[in-house]
């Protein structure tokens, strides 16, 4: 009987840890919409970046981390399965509705990039949320972005250029999406606005 009770309690604990609450949905949506506006502005700035890197297009990969923030940030705050994908796709949808130059293709990009971050959180079974995991999530999103764009848009590039794009996008993902998102969560936690979340009550974010 005691063993059965322990199993039931463990099951309920896991269900509570992984099940989304109303507050999770609301906050994830607010984060995604806010970052979606950032995505729109970031996309507007890409025209200038493309012009600056015209002689060596792979360098534009260093700019891509701005499009990866929603997934990493959302995952770090909500700490539930699917948060990274949900936030990244919703942010992409918001930027599309605002009229980003990339149109509805942002939805596919958002899903792929969100999955890149989500797989890292899954790798740690949604239990670890420290700086290392945040950086790896940014790296995962950056790799997902670079690989998918090399297939969809950069197929005519030389292999060397494609590899350099992967390197630059990965660096951007680690620094902009990974490090900055981790710092943002720590800053938000100190204000108390994340008190309803484990990310706002622990120091291992």
pLDDT digits (tens, 9 = 90+) for 103-126: 999 999 999 999 999 999 999 999
How many CB atoms within 10 Å of residue 20? 14
pLDDT at 205: 44
pLDDT digits (tens, 9 = 90+) for 145-192: 999 999 999 999 999 999 999 999 999 999 999 999 999 999 999 999
pLDDT digits (tens, 9 = 90+) for 190-199: 999 999 898 8
Cα 38 to chain centroid distance, Å, stands at 13
- Tell me the pLDDT tens digit for each residue of 42-91: 999 999 999 999 999 999 999 999 999 999 999 999 999 999 999 999 99
Res 13 pLDDT > 60: no
pLDDT tier at 1 (50, 70, 90 boundaries)? low
Give me 168's structure tokens: 């630059």
Question: Rounded mean pLDDT of the chain?
Answer: 92
Q: What percent of the chain has pLDDT over 90?
A: 86
- Give Cα separations from 31 to 16, 24, 36, 98, 162 (angstroms): 22, 10, 8, 16, 32
The pLDDT of residue 200 is 83
Residues whose CB is less than 8 angstroms from the CB of residue 82 and which lie 6 or more positions away in sequence, other chains included: 20, 118
Residue 8 has pLDDT above 80, yes or no: no
Structure tokens at 138: 């940014």
pLDDT at residue 125, rounded to an integer:
96
Percent with pLDDT over 70 in the chain: 90
Domain residue extents for the chain: 22-201
């Amino acid at each position: 009987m005691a063993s059965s009770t322990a199993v039931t309690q463990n099951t309920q604990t896991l269900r509570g840890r992984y099940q989304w609450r109303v507050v999770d949905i609301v906050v994830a949506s607010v984060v995604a919409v806010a970052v979606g506006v950032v995505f729109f502005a970031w996309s507007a700035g890409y025209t200038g970046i493309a012009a600056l890197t015209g002689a060596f297009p792979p360098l534009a990969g260093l700019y891509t981390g701005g499009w990866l923030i929603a997934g990493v940030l959302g995952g770090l705050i909500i700490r539930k399965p699917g948060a990274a994908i949900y936030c990244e796709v919703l942010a992409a949808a918001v930027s599309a509705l605002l009229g980003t130059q990339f149109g509805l293709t942002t939805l596919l990009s958002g899903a792929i990039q969100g999955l890149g971050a989500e797989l890292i959180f899954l790798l740690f079974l949604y239990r670890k949320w420290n700086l290392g995991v945040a950086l790896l999530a940014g790296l995962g999103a950056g790799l997902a972005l670079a690989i998918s764009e090399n297939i969809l848009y950069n197929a005519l590039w030389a292999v060397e250029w494609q590899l350099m794009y992967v390197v630059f996008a990965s660096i951007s993902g680690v620094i902009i999406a990974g490090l900055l998102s981790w710092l943002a969560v720590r800053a938000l936690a100190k204000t108390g606005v994340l008190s309803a979340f484990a990310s706002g009550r622990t120091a291992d974010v």
